[in-house]
């Protein structure tokens, strides 16, 4: 086992997949000599050359469009969107082309591609470098949506995504790139797309989170443990398709559910998790399902105090757990 950061695990996954499969290539803005704005692809152009790790124009539509075309002919592109905030010009390509190709061709054509994008706030990026976009894309059958929260999962999930026969949107919590550390096996391994992970068992309250919020949820669970509140933390990991079974098993055990994400409250992904619980485990609940999310304002503010006001953190999650436990 080797300890590494989240960004190192992501880079290692791409490195290994480039070495394993000659059909894998990386395309995006500044992914070549510069190694990406966050250095996720640092050193890869030196190892694999400019024909497999290459810069694109500032045109997200084209980055994804090129990836779709290459994937249709058997290649396995990894398309980097520099910030998730910039993914919207490629929305039609992702939703109307990549996600629907297998279905509309009755399985004759598949689109084995990965679209990587750093998402979320907490780095002082303001409105245009802090957005959470997952809810837009979890509405799209044919597209898998994956968000890792730790280095082990990041590497294993990304390798699985690259090998998947259909498109995967791989969103990475950029605040955690160098903050979150963990052990990663030196030998080959994969983490399957789909199953959630119970990262901390408990009996009193279930907390459902992903990405950076999962990192904070674990901290919050530790904070309230001294108050005799046993929190079960579930890392959703794959948002679409959603792992209903793990969600329902956890709620049926604890009777209380807190869903945490940093995206806006209204229409956020937490609403889908809440709907699953309400429709299939209502009689198991001992308290209303609660969501702790970003407020309904247009974006994460640039001002540090306002950014803290917007984003959930360990202290806010711990207080929400306490309130729910008192029911």
Catalytic residues: 129
Separation between Cα atoms, residue 293 and residue 213, nearest integer Å: 10
Structure tokens at 67: 């990836």
Separation between Cα atoms, residue 220 and residue 212, nearest integer Å: 13
Residue 182: count of CB within 10 angstroms of its CB: 18
Burial (CB count within 10 angstroms: exposed 0-12, middle 13-18, buried 19+), residue 108: exposed
Separation between Cα atoms, residue 18 and residue 40, nearest integer Å: 14
Are 78 and 70 in contact by the 8 Å Cβ rule? The answer is no
Separation between Cα atoms, residue 128 and residue 86, nearest integer Å: 8
Separation between Cα atoms, residue 158 and residue 129, nearest integer Å: 23
DSSP H or E stretch at residue 233: strand 231-235
Are 84 and 148 in contact by the 8 Å Cβ rule? The answer is no
Taking the alpha carbons of 160, 161, 162, 163 in that order, is the dihedral positive or negative? positive
């Amino acid at each position: 086992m080797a300890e590494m950061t989240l960004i190192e695990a992501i880079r290692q996954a791409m490195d290994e997949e480039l070495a394993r499969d000659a059909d894998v290539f990386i395309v995006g803005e500044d992914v070549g000599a510069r190694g990406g704005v966050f250095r996720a692809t640092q050193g890869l152009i030196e190892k694999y050359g400019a024909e497999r790790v290459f810069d694109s124009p500032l045109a997200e539509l084209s980055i994804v469009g090129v990836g779709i075309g290459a994937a249709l002919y058997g290649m396995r592109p990894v398309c980097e969107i520099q910030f998730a905030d910039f993914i919207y010009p490629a929305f039609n390509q992702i939703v109307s082309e990549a996600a629907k190709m297998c279905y509309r061709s009755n399985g004759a054509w598949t689109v084995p591609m990965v679209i990587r994008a750093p998402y979320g706030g907490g780095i002082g990026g303001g409105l245009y470098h802090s957005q959470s976009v997952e809810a837009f894309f979890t509405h799209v059958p044919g597209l898998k949506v994956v968000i890792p929260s730790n280095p082990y999962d990041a590497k294993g999930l990304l390798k699985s995504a690259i090998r998947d026969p259909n498109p995967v949107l791989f969103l990475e919590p950029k605040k955690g790139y160098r903050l979150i550390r963990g052990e990663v096996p030196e030998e080959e391994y994969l983490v399957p797309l789909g199953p959630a992970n119970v990262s901390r068992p408990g009996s009193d309250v279930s907390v459902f989170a992903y990405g950076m919020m999962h990192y904070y949820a674990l901290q919050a669970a530790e904070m309230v443990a001294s108050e005799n509140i046993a929190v079960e933390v579930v890392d959703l990991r794959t948002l679409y398709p959603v792992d209903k079974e793990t969600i329902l098993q956890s709620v049926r055990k604890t009777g209380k559910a807190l869903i945490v994400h940093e995206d806006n409250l209204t229409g956020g992904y937490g609403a889908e998790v809440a709907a699953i619980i309400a429709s299939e485990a209502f009689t198991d609940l001992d308290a209303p399902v609660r969501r702790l999310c970003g407020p309904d304002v247009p974006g994460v503010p640039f001002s540090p105090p306002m950014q803290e006001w917007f984003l959930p953190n360990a202290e806010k999650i711990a207080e929400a757990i306490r309130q729910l436990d008192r029911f």
